[in-house]
Amino acid sequence: LSVPPEIPKEDGRPKWDNKFQYILSCIGFAVGLGNVWRFPYLCQIHGGGAFLIPYFIALLFEGIPLLHLELALGQCLRKGSIGAWNAISPYLGGVGVGSWMVSVLVSLYYNTVLTWVMWYFINSFQEPLPWSVCPLNENRTGLNEECYESTTVNYFWYRKTLNITPDVTESGTLQWWLILCLAACWAIVYLCTIRGIETTGKAIYVTAIFPYLVLTIFLIHGLTLPGATDGLAYLFTPNLNTLKNPRVWLDAATQIFFSLSLAFGGLIAFSSYNPQKNDCEKDAVTVAIVNSMTSLYASIPVFSVLGFKATTGYWDCLDRNIISIINEFDLPEESIMRQNYTAWISFLNSSYPEKIAGLKLKSCDLQEFLDQSVSGTGLAFIIFTQAIILMPGSQAWAILFFIMLFSLGLSSMFGNIEGVFTPLLELPMISKSIPKELLSGIICLICFLIALCFTLGSGSYWIDIFDSYAGSLPLLVIAFFEVIGVAYVYKIKRFSKDVKWMTGRKPNLYWQITWRFISPLLLLIVFVTFVTLQIQKPSSYAAWNPKHEGFPMKEEKVYPPWVLAICVLLAVLPCVFVPLVALFHLIKRMCRNKDPSFVPPAVFSCQGANS
């Protein structure tokens, strides 16, 4: 096995082996963990099938135009995010630096989520699964108290995996098992991105296609589980009344935006390795549609399994009530079944009301079980793991599920790391002296060392902070400036000519209108609404505190001021580069204006780059 020598274009830039690799990389970047654990949750809480209406409207007017813009930009300018925006206009260089900064911040915490997935994966080889049994307490008289009060899966997640502290200010200690898994995860990322797209291009064949296989297997298995139809009906029954709530439209717009991984700089990096004569319009539409279809496709097995879990919980509740009634009234076994439970209850209530009241039966309601909606890590590590215990052959399902999550996250990590790697590779001082392997090694090592703070006891609280503040607001700002920059600084006429040169046809009216007016307006509205909603509710978090009275419910706590300062810093830091760089160039130009020998830089054009 020898590595084939790269055949570079005239400018020495590496390129994709074939078009399919490029499309697969973009799809892998866009399709991530959010498609599995955020979209079904949003569908559920916002009225099921009715959520698809604002979702597709947002896709049409915000997602696809921005995606086309980024892909066309990267393809035309053949540079990473920093170089590309510097080429558009030096005043807009801050946009590129901002995207680079966001990619760095997101890479840090995203790989820690993959660490958790890996930890669950290597624990899935045991029989019985470690999250299905409670350990004993010290004197072996009963089960561990924390585990007994909450559930076994909660205990395994909060205690055995995270070893979580009750407060974000208490850092706790470094968890050595998480450090091992973190090192392994960063080693895998290094292995796959060691030479940039040469190596990720090979790895993406596996990591982008494998999740679809597993989703199909889960789909088929999930549909055969009892209670699956209840879950699916619950998910898809449209409730058009929810459309009156502006929160639904906001969630749809933000979901589309973050789901397509816009404004990270990774898409610009990917398309910069393309040949210039490539139909980026078709690529953009393909990637966006595949991403949305994957979200829909993934929500079916997720909700079948959730329906199964709710039904099993409901049956357990009924069975416990039935046992206590049978014990109390000394009735023969199997006289009360689930089917005639309600008839028996009404009969017994009318004849012996005091006895029934004395039993303190819990009211079992299937809707209540179905209503327990969770998104994010709770869905994967608590709800799904609980459902997996109930399935026969749980080890195999657990292993499949966690490998699927790992590949979904890994393909998104490739895009994040490319967004960091490509602009660095283009900096003149770095590209000459450092070989690619060393640069990617240095990036992975530095990220690993910084990410060690997420393996502390309070690590998961910090990841929530990073996710809500670094991975949300700055992206909106950067995307807004991207659209404004291309539409009004670079001018849409020039951009349309460039796109026509690349794809062979002029962008039609839809693109013109969305790029010029609709997308910037939509982004502005989303940004303002997002900020107002964030400011209105005081930022709080839910802490896991075993000593709390309401345990096993989580304790609502407020962030202390220094943590809030960090949140604001995370949100503002990438955005602040936009005005800073513009100011810097303005000052430089004012100094230069006094110099008579100054020649203004040549106007950049797409066609000019190739000659």
Partner 1 sequence: YAWDANEEYLFKAMVAFALRRYSSKSTTQISNVLLCNVTDRVSFWFVVTDSSKNVTTVPGSEVEAAIRMNRNRINSAFLLSDKTLQFLKITSTLSPPVEPSTPVWLIVFGVVLCLIVAGIFFLVVAGVQQRKKKNKQSTERENLEEKGEVAVTVENGIPCETLDLKAGHINGVFAADDERFTSL
Tokens at 432, concatenated = 């000459």
For partner 1 (CB under 8 A), the number of binding residues is: 34
β-strand partners of 555: 543
Residues 179 to 198: which contact partner 1 by CB under 8 A? 180-181, 184, 187-188, 190-191, 194-195
Nearer to partner 1, 181 or 479 (CB): 181
- What stretches of 152-236 show up as alpha helix (H) in DSSP? 152-155, 176-193, 197-224, 228-236
226 binds partner 1 (CB under 8 A): no
Cis status of the peptide bond prior to 332, with omega within 30 of 0: no
Query: Least separation, in Å, of the C-beta of 454 and partner 1?
Result: 19
Whether residue 264 contacts residue 103, with contact meaning beta carbons closer than 8 Å, is answered with: yes
135 binds partner 1 (CB under 8 A): yes
CA pair distance 221, 599, nearest whole angstrom: 68
Is residue 139 within the footprint of partner 1 (CB under 8 A)?
no
Does the protein bind partner 1 through residue 2 (CB under 8 A)? yes
Q: Whole-angstrom Cα distance, residue 551 to residue 556?
A: 11
Write the burial class of residue 70 (CB in 10 Å: 0-12 exposed, 13-18 middle, 19+ buried). buried
Of 64 and 118, nearer to partner 1 (C-beta) is: 118
Whether 30 has a binding-site annotation, put simply, is yes
Closest to partner 1 by CB, 127 or 595: 127
Distance of alpha carbon 313 from alpha carbon 365, whole angstroms: 10
DSSP code, position 542:
E
d(CA 67, CA 518): 14
- Among 11, 330, 354, 549, indicate the residue that binds partner 1 (CB under 8 A): 330
Q: Is 291 annotated as a binding residue?
A: yes
- Please tell me whether residue 403 binds partner 1 under the rule CB under 8 A: no
The answer to whether residue 136 forms part of the interface with partner 1 (CB under 8 A) is: yes
Contact between 145 and partner 1 by CB under 8 A: the answer reads: no
| Min separation Cβ 343 and partner 1, Å | 19
> Side chain identity at 336, as an amino acid letter?
I
Task: Decide: is 521 part of the binding site for partner 1 (CB under 8 A).
Answer: no
Q: What angle do CA 413, 415, 418 make, to 5 degrees?
A: 105
31 marked among binding-site residues: yes
What mask of x and - would describe binding to partner 1 in positions 284 to 323, judged by CB under 8 A? ----------------------------------------
DSSP character at residue 51:
G
35 among the known binding-site residues?
yes
State yes or no: residue 17 binds partner 1 (CB under 8 A): no
Q: Is residue 126 involved in binding partner 1 (CB under 8 A)?
A: yes
Under rule CB under 8 A, residue 14 binds partner 1? no
Q: What are the C-alpha distances in Å from 272 to residues 73, 280, 484, 510?
A: 8, 11, 21, 24
Structure-token match 């790697």, residue found: 421
Segment near partner 1 (CB under 8 A), from 20-28, 103-111, 140-148, 241-249?
140-148
What value does the CA radius of gyration of the chain take, rounded to a whole number of Å? 27
- The correct pick among 223, 285, 326, 361 for binding partner 1 (CB under 8 A) is 326
Does position 352 bind partner 1 by CB under 8 A?
no
Taking CB under 8 A as the criterion, the residue among 45, 53, 60, 133 binding partner 1 is 133
Asked if residues 267 and 478 have their Cβ atoms less than 8 Å apart, the reply is no
Scanning residues 102 to 121, which ones bind partner 1 (CB under 8 A)? 118-119
- Tell me which residue of 389, 394, 397, 190 sits closest to 301, measured CA to CA: 397
180 vs 484, which CB is nearer to partner 1? 180
Cβ at position 361, least distance to partner 1 in Å: 18
239 is in an annotated binding site: no
Residue 140 sits in the site that holds partner 1 (CB under 8 A): yes
Phi and psi at residue 150, to the nearest 5°:
-95, -155
Which residues, at least 6 apart from 430, have a Cβ–Cβ distance to it below 8 Å? 424, 439
How many angstroms separate the CA atoms of 349 and 341, rounded? Answer: 12
* 410 touches partner 1 by CB under 8 A: no
Residue 349 makes contact with partner 1 by CB under 8 A: no
Residue 430: other Cβ atoms inside 10 A: 13
Is 108 labelled as part of a ligand binding site?
Answer: no
C-beta of residue 196 within 8 angstroms of C-beta of residue 418: yes
Q: Give residues in contact with partner 1 (CB under 8 A).
A: 2-3, 5, 118-119, 122-123, 125-126, 133, 135-136, 140-143, 180-181, 184, 187-188, 190-191, 194-195, 199, 326-327, 330-333, 435, 437
Write out the binding residues for Na(+). Answer: 28, 30-31, 35, 259, 291, 408, 412
